[in-house]
C-alpha cells in the first residue's frame, strides 16, 4: 500500500506533473464524455497519472517504455475514495489500450513533447504508397509494405526517435519489438515471418526517406562521420558522378581506420604506408586506385584546413609502364557462342541477349548499360546516345541485331513503369540494374555457353571488339571512336594485337641471320 506522503508529491517535478496532468486530464475527460466506455477510459487515465506521480516520472519523459513499465507494475495504487485499483483490471489489454489512448491525447495537446521532424515523415506515407505502385509491386506486397511503414512510423513516434537519428539499428529494433502499439493489428507471439515482414517494410520506408532527404544517408550515421564529409566534398565541390562517389567511399572505408581521427597528426610515413602496405592479392590497378583516392581525400582535408598541404605530395605514384600488358579478349566465335546461349523464350533470356549484344557490338561499359534511358534511343536513325566517363555524351550507331534484341526486350519484357532507364529488374521493385548485375548475367551466360577459359567480366567484350576491329584492318582512330576514348594513347595498346602490322615491322632475330 502506498503511503499518503507519497501521494502528497513532495518533489517539485512531481508537483509540476500533478498540476499539468490534472489540467490535461480534465480536458481529456471532457472530450471523452458520451463515449460508451467512458468509465474505463477515465479510470485508466487517472490511474496512469497517479502512477507517474508515484514514480516521479515527468510527463516529458513518457514514451512506449514508460507505458510498458506501467503495464507490468504490481499495482497497489490508491484510487478515489482510498480504494486500491484492481491489479487484474490494470493488466487487461483493453485497459492498457485506454492508457495509450490517453497518452496520444497528451501528445496531441502538447502535454508530451514528440520529435517535430517526425511529422514530415508521416506525411510522406501516401507518396511512398504511390512509389510502390510505380515500382510494380503486387497489391499484396504493396499492402504489406504500406502497413509496415505505418507501423514503423507509429513505433518511432512512441519511441520518441527523431528522423535525424534514424538508422538501420532502429529498423532491427522495430522488427523485433514486442508490439503493443495502438494500432488495429494482430498481437501475440512474434514469428520469424513477422520479423522478416517488419524488417523488410521498415528498411524499404527508411530507404525511401533517405532518397527524399528526410533522413541522413547511411554513411552519415552508421559509418565514420569523416566519410560523410568526404562524400559531401566529392558531390558538391568536385561534382563527381554517383558511381565514382560510391567507389571512392568504399576505398576510403577500407583504410580509414588506420588513420588517426585528428588529421593534424598525420605524417608522411603513415600516408605512404597506406599505399605501400597493400595485400599481396591486390592488382596493380587496385593499388593505383588507393593512391588516387588517398590523394583526393587529403586534398579534401587540406581544403578544410584540417591537415598540412605537403602531405598530398607524400602519396607515392603507383605507376605502371604504359602498354606493359596485352588486352584480354575472347575470339569472335566464343562471343557468338555466349550470345547464342541466351534463351529468347524467357524474359531473362531476352533481356540478357539485348545487354550482351550492346556490350559486344558497341563495346559499351557496364555503367553505360545501366544508365541508358529510353530517351537515349533514336529509332528513326538507329543511334544511341551514350553518356560515358566524365559525362561526355556521344552518338553511337545501333547495329541491326542489337537493335532488334533491344526492341524485343522493350516490347515483350520491360515492365511498364515510370522509370526511364531501359534495363530494369525482372521482379518488383523494378529498379535499374547495377554494374554488378551486368557482371553476374555475363557470368551466367558464359556458364551456359560452356566457356570456362579466358578472361571474364563484362569489360572483356569491349576489349574483344577492339581486338577484332584492329585485326580486321580498322585504324586505331576508328577503334578509339567506337570505344569513345578521349586520348589516342588509350587506344594505342590495341596495336599489340595487330599481328599483320607487327609482322611487317618486326626485325629478324640476330641468331637466325645468315653469316
Question: What does the alpha-carbon distance between residue 443 and residue 457 come to, in Å, rounded to a whole number?
Answer: 7
| CA trace torsion 431, 435, 439, 441 (10° rounding) | 20
pLDDT recorded at residue 61: 83
* Distance separating alpha carbons of residues 93 and 202, to the nearest angstrom: 26
pLDDT at 80 over 60: no
Q: Are 468 and 362 in contact (CB under 8 A)?
A: no
Q: What is the DSSP string of 301-369?
A: HHHTT-S-GGGGGGSPP----TT-S------HHHHHHHHHTS-TTSHHHHHHHHHHHHHHHH---HHHH
Q: Do domains 225-314 and 332-500 have the same CATH topology?
A: no
- What are 199-225's pLDDT values in tens digits? 999 999 999 998 888 887 765 445 578
Query: What percent of the chain is predicted at pLDDT more than 90?
Result: 38
Question: In sequence order, what are the residues at sequence separation of 6 or more whose Cβ sits closer than 8 angstroms to the Cβ of residue 13?
Answer: 56, 58
pLDDT at 297: 96
Residue 510 scores a pLDDT above 80? no
The structural domains of the chain, with segments of one domain joined by +, span 4-108, 118-216, 225-314, 332-500
Query: Which residues are catalytic, by number?
Result: 365, 389, 459, 462, 485, 494
Q: Is 324 exposed, middle or buried (0-12, 13-18, 19+ CB in 10 A)?
A: exposed
Burial environment of residue 248 by CB neighbours within 10 A (0 to 12, 13 to 18, 19 or more): buried
In degrees and rounded to multiples of 5, residue 33 shows phi and psi of -60, 140
- Per the CB < 8 A criterion, the answer to whether 364 and 458 are in contact is no
Q: How far apart are CA 228 and CA 242, in angstroms?
A: 14
How far, in Å, CA of 358 to CA of 490, rounded?
A: 21
Choose among 173, 163, 84: nearest CA to 119.
163
Q: Any idea which fold 332-500 has?
A: hpI Integrase; Chain A (1.10.443)
pLDDT digits (tens, 9 = 90+) for 224-243: 788 888 988 998 888 887 77
What is the tens place of the pLDDT at every residue in 352-388?
A: 999 999 999 999 999 999 999 999 999 999 999 998 7
Q: If we measure between CA atoms, which residue out of 448, 431, 263 comes closest to residue 343? A: 448
CATH of 118-216, one of 1.10.20, 3.30.2010, 1.20.5, 1.10.150: 1.10.150
Distance CA 239, CA 387 (A): 15
> What is the reported pLDDT for 218?
65
Distance set, CA 62 to CA 12, 112, 115, 144, 198 (Å):
17, 7, 13, 30, 25
In three-state form (DSSP H/G/I as H, E/B as E, the rest C), the secondary structure along 433-463 is CCHHHHHHHHHHHHHHHCCCCCCCCCCHHHH
DSSP readout, 248-278?
A: HHHHHHHHGGGS-SSGGG--HHHHHHHHHS-
Q: What is the pLDDT of residue 81?
A: 58
Q: What is the fold of 225-314?
A: DNA polymerase; domain 1 (1.10.150)
Could you count the other beta carbons within 10 Å of the beta carbon of residue 16?
A: 14
Amino acid at each position: 500500500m502506498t503511503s499518503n506522503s507519497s501521494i502528497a508529491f513532495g518533489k517539485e517535478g512531481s508537483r509540476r506533473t500533478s498540476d499539468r496532468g490534472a489540467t490535461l486530464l480534465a480536458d481529456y475527460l471532457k472530450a471523452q464524455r458520451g463515449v460508451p466506455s467512458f468509465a474505463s477510459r477515465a479510470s485508466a487515465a487517472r490511474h496512469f497519472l497517479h502512477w507517474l506521480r508515484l514514480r516521479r516520472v515527468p510527463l516529458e519523459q513518457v514514451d512506449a517504455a514508460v507505458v510498458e513499465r506501467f503495464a507490468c507494475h504490481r499495482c497497489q495504487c490508491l484510487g478515489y475514495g482510498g480504494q486500491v485499483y484492481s491489479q487484474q483490471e490494470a493488466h487487461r489489454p483493453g485497459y492498457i489500450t485506454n492508457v495509450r489512448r490517453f497518452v496520444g491525447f497528451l501528445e496531441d495537446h502538447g502535454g508530451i513533447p514528440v520529435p517535430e521532424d517526425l511529422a514530415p515523415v508521416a506525411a510522406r506515407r501516401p507518396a511512398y504508397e504511390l512509389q510502390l505502385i510505380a515500382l510494380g509491386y503486387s497489391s499484396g506486397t504493396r499492402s504489406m509494405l504500406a502497413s509496415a511503414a505505418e507501423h514503423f512510423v507509429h513505433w518511432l513516434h512512441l519511441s520518441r526517435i527523431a528522423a535525424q537519428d534514424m538508422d538501420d539499428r532502429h529498423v532491427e529494433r522495430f522488427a523485433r519489438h514486442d508490439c503493443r502499439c495502438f494500432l488495429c493489428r494482430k498481437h501475440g507471439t512474434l514469428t520469424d515471418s513477422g520479423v522478416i515482414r517488419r524488417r523488410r517494410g521498415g528498411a524499404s520506408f527508411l530507404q525511401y526517406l533517405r532518397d527524399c532527404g528526410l533522413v541522413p544517408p547511411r554513411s552519415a550515421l552508421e559509418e565514420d562521420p569523416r566519410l560523410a564529409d568526404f562524400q559531401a566534398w566529392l558531390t558538391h565541390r568536385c561534382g563527381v558522378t554517383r558511381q565514382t562517389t560510391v567507389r571512392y567511399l568504399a576505398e576510403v572505408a577500407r583504410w580509414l581506420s588506420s588513420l588517426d581521427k585528428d588529421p593534424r597528426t598525420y605524417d608522411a610515413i603513415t600516408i605512404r604506408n597506406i599505399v605501400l602496405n597493400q595485400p599481396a592479392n591486390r592488382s596493380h590497378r587496385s593499388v593505383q586506385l588507393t593512391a588516387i583516392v588517398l590523394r583526393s581525400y587529403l586534398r579534401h582535408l587540406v581544403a578544410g584546413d584540417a591537415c598540412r598541404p605537403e602531405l598530398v605530395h607524400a602519396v607515392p605514384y603507383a605507376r605502371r609502364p604504359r602498354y606493359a600488358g596485352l588486352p584480354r579478349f575472347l575470339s569472335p566465335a566464343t562471343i557468338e557462342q555466349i550470345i547464342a546461349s541466351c534463351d529468347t523464350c524467357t524474359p531473362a533470356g531476352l533481356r540478357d541477349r539485348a545487354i550482351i549484344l550492346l556490350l559486344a557490338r558497341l563495346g559499351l561499359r557496364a555503367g553505360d548499360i545501366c544508365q541508358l534511358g529510353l530517351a537515349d534511343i533514336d529509332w528513326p536513325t538507329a543511334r544511341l546516345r551514350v553518356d560515358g566517363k566524365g559525362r561526355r555524351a556521344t552518338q553511337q550507331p545501333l547495329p541491326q541485331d542489337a537493335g532488334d534484341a533491344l526492341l524485343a526486350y522493350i516490347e515483350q519484357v520491360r515492365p511498364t513503369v515510370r522509370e526511364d532507364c531501359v534495363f530494369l529488374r525482372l521482379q518488383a521493385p523494378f529498379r535499374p540494374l547495377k554494374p554488378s548485375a551486368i557482371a553476374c548475367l555475363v557470368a551466367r551466360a558464359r556458364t551456359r555457353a560452356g566457356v570456362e577459359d579466358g578472361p571474364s567480366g563484362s569489360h572483356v567484350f569491349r576489349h574483344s571488339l577492339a581486338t577484332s576491329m584492329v585485326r580486321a584492318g580498322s585504324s586505331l582512330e576508328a577503334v578509339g571512336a567506337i570505344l569513345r576514348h578521349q586520348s589516342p594513347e588509350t587506344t594505342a595498346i590495341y596495336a599489340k594485337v595487330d599481328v599483320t602490322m607487327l609482322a611487317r615491322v618486326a626485325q629478324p632475330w640476330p641468331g637466325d641471320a645468315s653469316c
